[in-house]
Amino acid sequence: MNCQQAIIYISGRLDRELTPEQERELDLHLQSCPVCSKEYQEMLKIKEVTTDMRFTDLPDRFWASYWNGIYNRLERGIGWMLLSVGAIVLLAFGAWELLNNFFLDETVSFVLRLGVGAGLLGVITSLVSVLRERLFARKHERYEEVER
């Protein structure tokens, strides 16, 4: 066994995850290698200081309302999904009606149709632009690496 393998086996020993054969190999190496032996002692200390560490429990009222929080989220998720489906259906219907009864209606003045069409395109373009900018800003925060 070389030192590189030994230092990895040290973690396995600390966590009692080595096979008896691996334990024997590690023992043999530690007896003959002061560097790995020192590493083992240091890792043992790290294991000791972290072993005791536990979080204290939250007050019972947090746990009592935990399931309700999940249930509400699931319920809201269904609500949002239905709302989205409804909005898409209504928007599609509105667009279809607008196309048939306004833009393709030759009784309506061409200038009016052109004006409304350009205005609608402008609104859609602005909306897409704002959304894209927000999305970019969320992914790349300008000052995220600045230490305060």
**What residues contact 11, with CB distance under 8 A and at least 6 apart?**
43
In the complex with another protein, the residue whose CB is nearer, 42 or 97, is 42
Could you say whether residue 55 binds another protein (CB under 8 A)?
yes
- H or E element that contains 123: helix 110-139
Look up residue 128 and give its amino acid.
Answer: V
Look up residue 33 and give its amino acid.
Answer: C
Could you say whether residue 10 binds another protein (CB under 8 A)?
yes
Nearest alpha carbon to residue 13 among 29, 27, 3 = 27
Out of 2, 56, 107, 109, which residue is the one contacting another protein (CB under 8 A)?
A: 56
How far apart are CB 121 and another protein at their closest, in Å? 34
In the complex with another protein, the residue whose CB is nearer, 111 or 140, is 140
Q: Which stretch binds another protein (CB under 8 A): 8-16, 26-34, 97-105, 111-119?
A: 8-16
How far apart are CB 87 and another protein at their closest, in Å? 21
Contact (Cβ atoms closer than 8 angstroms) between residue 29 and residue 61: no
Largest CA distance in the chain: 98
Nearest alpha carbon to residue 36 among 73, 4, 66 = 4
How far apart are CB 58 and another protein at their closest, in Å? 7
Give the interface with another protein as residue ranges (CB under 8 A): 7-12, 15, 17, 42-43, 46-47, 49-58, 62-63, 66-67, 69-70, 73-74, 77, 141, 143-144
